[in-house]
Amino acid sequence: MLPRVLEEEVMDTPEEARDYDAMDHKAVNTLFVDDFLHHWDGRSPVLDVGTGTAQIPIELARRCPQVRIVAVDLAQQMLLLADRNVAQAQLQECIRLERIDAKKMPYAENTFAAVMSNSIIHHLPQPERGFAEMHRVCQRGGLLFVRDLLRPSSWAALQELVDLYAGGANAHQRAMFAASLHAALTVEEVRDCVKQLGYSPETVQQTSDRHWTWVAYKQHL
């Protein structure tokens, strides 16, 4: 198995934010929202952890105008672009942006009706802290919907994914994607994290050739 190699926790340069925002995430984001809606009961507020440039909250708010979303990230440069994107979409009433560390969020327990997150876990040196915080701030009975990249089994497999999904990207974007894959967790590593919180390992499944997804409801203390 390819060993995990950490990348920077916070992508906070103008170049990183700009190149990330410019990458074609439409298919991935649309599928994420499709799958979230399949499990979500429609209650707000929804917390989006590691929102980046707010592309997923914008997609969700366009499809569900009644939703209220708190979208958080630690990278100031990402949030600057997120603020621009939310304003251009005219969704300021639906989406509130906040600069927050996913490992120690300031919200009280049981605050959010649903918690969603896409591609933040692989940035965390101690991913179990991110899972624990998302569990803590979710309301009892609320949805926990977390998706992230899956670490490939070999360097050759990693390169194949980069060629397949970032073949038309620039060199920096390709390097960012490769680093993210290398920093990602395996399904078993994610299962170990959620098991510590009392969830069944089976709530974590591989859902594409490069993603795992955790879907659970907070039914316990």
Domains of the chain: 24-149+184-217 (3.40.50.150)
Q: Give the pLDDT means over successive 10-residue stretches in the chain (221 positions).
A: 85 69 78 98 97 96 97 94 96 97 97 97 96 98 98 97 92 92 98 97 98 92 50
Q: How far is CA 92 from CA 53, 78, 81, 95, 97, in A?
A: 14, 17, 14, 5, 9
Can you tell me the distance from the alpha carbon of 147 to that of 29, in angstroms, rounded to the nearest whole number?
Answer: 11
pLDDT at 7: 85
pLDDT at 20: 73
Where are the strands (E) in 4-123, listed by range? 46-49, 69-73, 95-99, 112-118
pLDDT at 1: 82
CA angle 187, 107, 205 (to 5 degrees): 15
